[in-house]
Chain A
Amino acid sequence: DAGVTQSPTHLIKTRGQQVTLRCSPKSGHDTVSWYQQALGQGPQFIFQYYEEEERQRGNFPDRFSGHQFPNYSSELNVNALLLGDSALYLCASSRGQGNQPQHFGDGTRLSIL
């Protein structure tokens, strides 16, 4: 039973570029949440997708957008990259909304030069 898988594992971009990160949820899970984790900090909530719609959003600008597909997988898109976007981007999946346990992937390490 595969857990949450994210791709790519590492990525290097330059300022102003655009990036797409991908996440496949754990089998049986239909809700995907995205987090940004800066070095030495706890994860910060970006947004959550359920039934292919964004249901909740954290304090992130519109440069951060996402999508959820019918198979529950999800993408995180970031436009006009800034140096401050360098971080570990984590995807977590759960079954339904509400207070269900979230299972995390190992993240995508994004470095902006």
Chain B
Amino acid sequence: KNQVEQSPQSLIILEGKNCTLQCNYTVSPFSNLRWYKQDTGRGPVSLTIMTFSENTKSNGRYTATLDADTKQSSLHITASQLSDSASYICVVGLGGATNKLIFGTGTLLAVQP
């Protein structure tokens, strides 16, 4: 069964600190892995997209890693800001002609002053 699991389920950190979110997947055929940020009451916004051959990608203070052998990914947030408070969702794209995505349940991050 195609599945994406994320940990931790929720996380509280102080402003300015770093944090790392984890994603494990069992999806086949694999095409790409995406990290989305979803603010409360808003739609998800793409942070990074990585294909099989990429093992790291950055977007400002966000850095995603991918280990296709162990089927694990992480999202590292540097120097957190209050505006980073959101749900972070790991999404794996299925291979083939369609654009079907398998979503994780997300990690809810709260950044406190």
Contacts and interface: CB of A to CB of B under 8 A. Distances in A.
A101 B36 CA distance: 11
Contacts of A43: 44, 89, 103
Contact of A101 (B49, B102, B104): B49
Interface residues of B, number: 27
Contacts, number: 65
Nearest to B93: A99
Nearest to A43: B103
Interface in B55-113: 89, 91, 93, 95, 97-106
Interface residues of A, number: 28
Interface in A38-58: 40-45, 48, 55-56
A104 B32 contact: no
- Main SS of chain B's interface residues? strand
Contacts of B43: 4, 90, 92, 104-107
A48 B104 CA distance: 19
B97 A98 contact: yes
Given A105-B43, A106-B43, A107-B43, A42 B106 contact: yes
Contacts of A31: 99
Nearest to B41: A106
B105 A40 contact: yes
Given A40-B105, A42-B104, A42-B105, A97 B97 contact: yes
B40 to A, nearest CB: 11
Task: Find the residue from A35, A99, A101, A104 having the highest chain B CB count within 10 A.
Answer: A99
A102 interface: yes
B14 interface: no
Nearest to A3: B43
Contact of A42 (B46, B100, B103): B103
Closest 7 CB pairs of A and B: A104-B43, A42-B103, A42-B105, A106-B43, A56-B98, A104-B44, A43-B103
Interface of B: 4, 31-32, 34, 36, 41-46, 49, 51, 89, 91, 93, 95, 97-106
